[in-house]
């Protein structure tokens, strides 16, 4: 027997030497939540280790992300329930919680990490949908795009380097690009949530943002049964001027991710969503799996499928592990 592939698996050093895919901190983005009305960070029960931040604790977390060498930090705002309305007005308000958080992070670490903003309305509307509702209670695509432009411009003004339209409205990228350019923010990039599916794995996120959603989002988010549609959506976003594309969720849509990555001429991100992360944590708490190993394997699979960037709630611990392995 001449060919023995096992020769390259005999020691940790050999396996490390020939590894085809590696987790590097610069590829990782940490999603964070900043909430109004808090005196101290508030744990999110369904997302172990994740909290709703105050502005001060958010800045401290951003500094930690910089120290770990993370590539980016993605901010989500959690307003007071009393500030929510039908069009999510507080989302674009200069003194709204998300824009205050963006400004604080950009001021503290804006030169050292990519500051990203979720550009959507679901956290800010009293009905919990990602857009403006019409008279029949359906999301109005074009009216919603007008609000997305207002959100994006306010986020760019607050200091975001990338805005992240995640509502899956037709034409949202083109509308935002035009709006940013007209407002003088031609250097602000767009991370488009291009293939975002109506997934069952968003549950913990709904707790994290105190979602008021009634019903579901299947009329605008993609059907989990469809693979080609994800590629079509990504192609359209790239044509409309997206600077990066995203597939969400990541782990259960590796086929879509691989398809998009194979044809995209811009960087591709993937979001390991709250339910994916929470399931690993829950199984590990019961002693069924090894938390660290499972999180590392799951993110490695996302990178192996073609992602250039991974958003994950485990970003800091994965970065710490990667940094420790290199020392």
Confidence of residue 206 (pLDDT cuts 50, 70, 90): confident
pTM: 0.96
- Domain of 207: which CATH number? 3.20.20.70
Number of domains in the chain: 1
Integer CA distances (angstroms), 201 to 30, 41, 50, 51, 275, in order: 18, 24, 16, 18, 4
Integer CA distances (angstroms), 55 to 3, 30, 34, 74, 200, in order: 58, 16, 6, 14, 30
Which pLDDT score, from 0 to 100, does residue 249 have?
Answer: 98
Q: 157 lies in a domain?
A: yes
Query: pLDDT tens for residues 16-52?
Result: 999 999 999 999 999 999 999 999 999 999 999 999 9
Q: 203 lies in a domain?
A: yes
Q: Can you tell me the distance from the alpha carbon of 260 to that of 235, in angstroms, rounded to the nearest whole number?
A: 8
Q: 89 lies in a domain?
A: yes
Mean pLDDT over 95-109 rounds to: 98
Predicted confidence (pLDDT) at residue 194 exceeds the cutoff of 80: yes
- Bridge-partner residues for 69, per DSSP? none
Which pLDDT score, from 0 to 100, does residue 168 have?
Answer: 95
Q: 311 lies in a domain?
A: no
39 contacts: CB under 8 Å, gap ≥ 6: 54
Range of the domain at 105: 21-244
Predicted confidence (pLDDT) at residue 182 exceeds the cutoff of 90: yes
Q: 141 lies in a domain?
A: yes
Q: Is pLDDT larger for residue 209 or for residue 190?
A: 190
Confidence of residue 98 (pLDDT cuts 50, 70, 90): very high
Query: pLDDT tens for residues 237-266?
Result: 999 999 999 999 999 999 999 999 999 999
Which pLDDT score, from 0 to 100, does residue 216 have?
Answer: 83
Confidence of residue 170 (pLDDT cuts 50, 70, 90): very high
Predicted confidence (pLDDT) at residue 115 exceeds the cutoff of 90: yes
Q: Out of 34-38, 117-121, 126-130, 228-232, pick the least confident.
A: 126-130
So which residues are the catalytic ones?
196, 248
The upper half-sphere exposure of residue 236, i.e. CA atoms within 13 Å in the direction of its Cβ, equals 17
Q: 249 lies in a domain?
A: no
């Amino acid at each position: 027997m001449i060919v023995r592939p096992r020769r390259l698996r005999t020691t940790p050093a050999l396996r490390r030497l020939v590894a085809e895919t590696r987790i590097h901190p610069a590829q990782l983005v940490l999603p964070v939540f900043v909430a109004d009305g808090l005196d101290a960070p508030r744990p999110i029960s369904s997302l172990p280790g994740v909290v709703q931040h105050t502005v001060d604790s958010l800045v401290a977390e951003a500094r930690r992300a910089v120290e770990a060498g993370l590539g980016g930090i993605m901010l989500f705002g959690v307003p007071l329930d009393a500030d929510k309305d039908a069009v999510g007005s507080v989302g674009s308000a200069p003194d709204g919680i998300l824009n205050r958080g963006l400004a604080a992070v950009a001021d503290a670490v804006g030169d050292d990490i990519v500051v990203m903003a979720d550009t959507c309305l679901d956290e800010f509307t009293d009905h919990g949908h990602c857009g403006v509702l019409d008279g029949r209670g359906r999301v109005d695509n074009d009216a919603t795009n007008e609000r997305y432009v207002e959100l994006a411009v306010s986020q760019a003004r607050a200091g975001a380097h990338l805005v992240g339209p995640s509502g899956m409205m037709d034409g949202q990228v083109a509308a935002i690009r035009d709006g940013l350019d007209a407002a003088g923010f031609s250097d602000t990039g767009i991370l488009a949530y291009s293939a975002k599916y109506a997934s069952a794995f968003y549950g913990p996120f709904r707790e994290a943002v105190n979602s008021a959603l009634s019903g579901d989002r299947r009329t605008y988010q993609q059907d989990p049964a469809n693979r080609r549609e994800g590629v079509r959506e990504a192609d359209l976003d790239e044509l409309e001027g997206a600077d990066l594309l995203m597939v969400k969720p990541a782990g259960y849509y590796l086929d879509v991710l691989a398809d998009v990555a194979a044809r995209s001429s811009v960087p591709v991100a993937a979001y390991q969503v709250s339910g994916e992360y929470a399931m690993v944590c829950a199984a590990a708490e019961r002693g069924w799996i090894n938390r660290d190993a499972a999180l590392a394997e799951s993110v490695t699979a996302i990178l192996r499928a073609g992602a250039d960037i991974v958003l994950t709630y485990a970003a800091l611990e994965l970065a710490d592990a990667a940094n420790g392995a290199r020392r």
